[in-house]
Amino acid sequence: MHHVMSPTGVAVLIMLALVIDWMSFGPNSVRDRIAFLIAIVCFRQGFNGSDLDKWTVSSATTGINTLKSMAGGAYVAGFVTQVVLSAMVGILAIYTVGCLLPIKASSKLGAFARLTFPDSAAKRINVKLWVMAAVLGMLAELPGGIVGSLLTTGIDALTRLVSPLPALLFGA
């Protein structure tokens, strides 16, 4: 992976995304979208290929393999774990797109455009948003096909838009 941001720039943008998510100005949906889009770039640039990334893949693989072993000799237990893990990341990406779409799009897209990042109990930091940004940022290269191509292309384009912000805003 090619890094277009310095480690300092990644740290500054993570702090900026956290502050944006924590602040209570404007509609939640706009705040969530801005924080998510900055955070996913930070996780991709800062943590992809890290020990945290490897642990996440390893833990998910172990969990899936445990479920497979519980199925015993069932036909479905013959699936390839890595393909299923990749599909899970792709499905999470599709769900996240639904959460990011404006509600107005529901007139054409139905309930898919009415998905939202559920509010957290504290009503300050949206934990579900951050988990999705972390998983998609670190594991974006796993899905193949159209979904995988769109995901990595989208994050790469977003990275080009977001990467100048640390220097522009803070001189970092």
Q: What tens digit of pLDDT does each residue of 53-105 get?
A: 999 999 999 999 998 898 887 888 888 899 999 999 999 999 998 888 887 78
Q: What tens digit of pLDDT does each residue of 101-125 get?
A: 887 787 788 888 778 777 655 567 7
Percent of the chain with pLDDT over 70: 93
Ramachandran angles phi, psi of 31, nearest 5°: -60, -45
What one-letter code names the amino acid at 74?
Answer: A
Please state, in angstroms and as integers, the Cα–Cα distance from residue 25 to each residue in 104, 121, 146, 168, following that order: 21, 18, 36, 22
Token match 């893949």: residue? 57
pTM of the model: 0.85
CA 9 – CA 19 distance, rounded (Å): 15
